[in-house]
Amino acid sequence: MGQIKKQAQISFRQLEQGGATVTVAAGEVLKMAGKTVIIFDFDRTLIDDDSDRWVITNMGLTQLFNQLLPTLPWNTLMDMMLKELQIQGKTVNDIAKCLKGIPLHPDIVAVIKSAHALGCDLKVVSDANMFYIKTILEHYGIYNCFSEITSNPAVVDSGRLRIFPYHNIASSHGCNLCPPNLCKGRVIAKIQASVSENESKRIIYIGDGKNDLCPTLKLDEGDCVMPRMNFPLWNSISKNSELVKAKVYEWGNGEDLGRILLQLLNSTNQS
């Protein structure tokens, strides 16, 4: 896997934003950061758990979930779980309270605030859902650091939280690497296309799951991918490294992710 390159020996200053401190080069790093798009997966990447399973486990739905899991697509199953919560008298506020208990590593919070302060464009592309993601990011005070969140839509209908697929599953998106409800590769291609031809943007993609391989394969040589070690994306890259154009920087936990991402932002010699 890729090695973090040694930082150039130049003068540095300290940037502090919202309690997070990052060492940055006075000129070049700020210039580089402003040309960097950082895209996070959510479950087991930005947060150190799976938000769907957190709600299932902590709100007493494990038995019903296991019973229905073999019979329903994931999005439909999650919507059924939320219907069951309403039947049990649980409210949307109860679900939000549960979600706020999900741990988010303080180093990840810090690096997000720092990257945002440096001028990076931060985005989330996730197979979770909009309500879960927004609730958790707002709870940790970092929701406004992100310019765009792409995930499965969520709406409150007559007091019940509903989950819907991002793509219309009635018409296939044509990707055999991604689930029917969301092709992350198509989302990344749209982000790449939104950058004008006279702009040079580096993408850093951070993920863990098997559905993160498709967007990884869309990255160019000047981009970076950060797979979580011993998770499906890391395994796929290890077996198919010749297909990956981007530089690979592996990480294992929140402390690793924060440190490596800061080093990538600090590095002024991205070769």
Q: Give me the pLDDT at residue 174, please.
A: 76
Q: Give me the pLDDT at residue 48, please.
A: 95
Whether residue 127 is annotated as binding a ligand: the answer is yes
Whether residue 157 is annotated as binding a ligand: the answer is no
Residues 217 and 53 sit within 8 Å (Cβ to Cβ):
no
Is residue 10 predicted with pLDDT exceeding 70? Answer: no
Is residue 26 predicted with pLDDT exceeding 80? Answer: no
What single letter denotes the amino acid at residue 227? P
Q: Is 121 designated active site?
A: no
Total count of residues recorded for the chain: 271
Q: Is 43 designated active site?
A: yes
Percent of all residues in the chain with a pLDDT value above 70, rounded to a whole number = 82
**pLDDT tens digits, 38-91:** 999 999 999 999 999 999 999 999 999 999 999 998 889 999 999 999 999 999
- CA–CA separation, 251 and 14 (whole Å): 25
Joined tokens for residue 157: 């209908």
Domains recognised in the chain with CATH numbers: 13-49+104-152+179-266 (3.40.50.1000)
Give the end-to-end CA distance of the chain in Å, rounded to a whole number: 16
Pairing of strands 121-129, 36-40: parallel
Average pLDDT over residues 222-251: 96
> Which residues fall within 8 angstroms of residue 93, CB to CB, at 6 or more apart?
none
Orientation of helix 74-87 relative to helix 51-58, angle to 10° = 30
Is residue 219 predicted with pLDDT exceeding 60? Answer: yes
- CA–CA separation, 76 and 242 (whole Å): 36
Pairing of strands 224-227, 247-248: parallel
